[in-house]
Chains A and B, each alone.
Chain A
Amino acid sequence: MIATVEDAYKRLGKVQALRGVTLEVREGELLALLGPNGAGKTTLVSLLVGLRSPDRGQVRLAGRDPRNPEARRILGVTPQSTGFPPNLRVGEVVELVQAHYSRPLKTGDVLERFGLTNLERRSVSDLSGGQARRLAVALAFVGNPRLAVLDEPTTGLDVESRRALWEQIKTFRSAGGTVLLTTHYLEEAEELADRVVVLARGKVLTRGSPNEIKRRVNLQRVLLRIRQLPQLNGVEKIEREGDRFVIWTHDSDALVRELVMSGLAFSNLEVLPASLEEAFLAVLNEEES
């Protein structure tokens, strides 16, 4: 086990950010932490990379406390927001990270792999948003770590850059590297992850393979005006929105077929995908009620 979190609690100011989270990252796997904003993903990551210690519970990196700098030698981290010190050049930022590891990658190689060739002398404040984001992710790999922790690596990237980054993550893994990744995007977890842990409101909501998770949270909303709803299969939840019903379901096609077969009159039919956020909240409410 390369990283473990055991029953961790963390309060930040007035917010109870983590409420008993247990997590294991196995050597060689890619584990995706999925969850809506405010779920506690970033707080959990901050415990694993040694920025904070838990109020209760235990966090370990290869058996050691991540607050200990020696324990972090196996670790490469990407910052979530791209706030580089504005007066430094790309090469200088990479050099600072290299100085912390015994066998770092060469600056030229890093920049080439992340699509930043020839930008070594560019001031970081002159990078485009996408370039800055790619540099941030690249920094996690500079030290040639055993475990790369990527906090929302592709947020704000265009489709092409996102795909290119996914390829780099795959390359890293094929050389035996382990990855812990947080993301808002189900498709990202689906593309990359061996296992997914869903976090919501500071707790682990569910865990499983990307396919299992997708089945659970891939919801659609069917909206329609109807006098009385018939008995329907595969309904997760029913709500009223104005004069329309909102039906949450995993299979909107089957649901619409059933509606038509029932012969009842309905109007204003609309099928909308639920965002991951909405799906989580729906699943969450259902589990808590």
Chain B
Amino acid sequence: MKLLLAHTKVELLTLLRTPGFLIPTMIFPSMFFLMFAAPNLLNTYAANFATGSFMAFAVFTVTFFQFGVGTANERENPWSSFVRTLPAHPIYRNGGKVLTAAALAMLAALVLVVVAHFTTPLDLPLASWPRIFLALAAGGVMMGMLGTALAYLVTPKAALPLANLIYLPLAFMGGMWMPPSMLPKAVQTFSPYLPSRQWMELVWAAMSGKQWNSSHWLAVAGFILIFVLLAGWAQQRDERIRF
């Protein structure tokens, strides 16, 4: 417990003191929401739907960049090698990262809910929150693993530009910024094959109180498995080459 706390504290302090991380992840999703979504949300159904989308976007931003760019930076930084020599199972180090990501992702989602509450006719019964939480958490794990895989697959310098190149289209084409029916026709046809879209289906169902379709859970679980395997393989490859 002491070790988990120690690693979480270090991870959290590092991120909180990085302005380039905190401001985009906490503010941008809400800003996009206010600029593009909020003015058009005239009824509760639309408000709930869009709030769910942008909460997922906020969680996506935090987890994907923390694990993606964070891990890439660590590959370059000898400090992480030193930390790995300390007598602690890797579970504490990684646990610290996961706890930090969870805390920041929840914070980012919370900021969004508060913004939506004051600017749209958002109305979510308390009973739907456990499902919303579950759906957001599953997607957070998926995108965290995708970020980790990316960080080990490319050079640390390429990680940030490439992360942006993946992140923005995934968000847009997955339907995080506008409902799928409003996406361009071409995008609509392949959007269902994207991990972000499968995730959104879970979030939308949770936001509107509809039954989950198990195929979306299977798809998300499948993507998590693929990203975990990819990250594991890339991490071992990296360890073999790196000095």
Contact = CB atoms under 8 A, between A and B. Distances in A.
Interface of A: 12-13, 42-43, 46, 49-52, 69-73, 75, 77, 79-81, 83-85, 87-88, 92, 95-97, 99-101, 139, 143
A12 B84 CA distance: 18
Contacts of B7: 96
Interface string B1-26: 01101110110011001100000000
Given A83-B78, A83-B79, A99-B3, A77 B14 contact: no
Contacts of A51: 81, 84-85
Contacts of B82: 77, 79, 139
B88 A50 contact: no
Contacts of A96: 6-7, 9-10, 83, 86
Nearest to A48: B85
Most B-side CB within 10 Å, residue of A77, A83, A85: A85
Give chain B's interface residue range (CB within 8 Å of chain A): 20 to 34
Nearest to A82: B78
Contact of B85 (A12, A43, A50, A81): A50
B210 interface: no
A87 B13 contact: yes
Nearest to B91: A69
Interface in B56-90: 77-79, 81-89
A97 B13 CA distance: 16
Given A51-B84, A79-B78, A79-B81, A88 B243 contact: no
Contacts of A71: 87
Contact of A52 (B18, B77, B239): B239
B185 interface: no
A72 B5 CA distance: 20
A72 B86 contact: yes
A244 B242 CA distance: 43
Contact of A100 (B3, B79, B241, B243): B3
Contacts of A42: 243
A101 B87 contact: yes
B22 to A, nearest CB: 11
Contacts of A77: 82, 85-86
Contact of B87 (A52, A75, A79): A75
A99 B9 CA distance: 12
Given A12-B242, A79-B79, A83-B77, 7 more contacts: A43-B243, A50-B85, A70-B87, A95-B6, A96-B7, A100-B3, A143-B87
A13 B240 contact: yes
A84 B79 contact: yes
Contacts of A69: 87-89
B72 to A, nearest CB: 14
B14 A88 contact: yes
B10 A92 contact: yes
Nearest to A73: B87
Nearest to A84: B79
B6 A88 contact: no
Contacts of B14: 85, 87-88
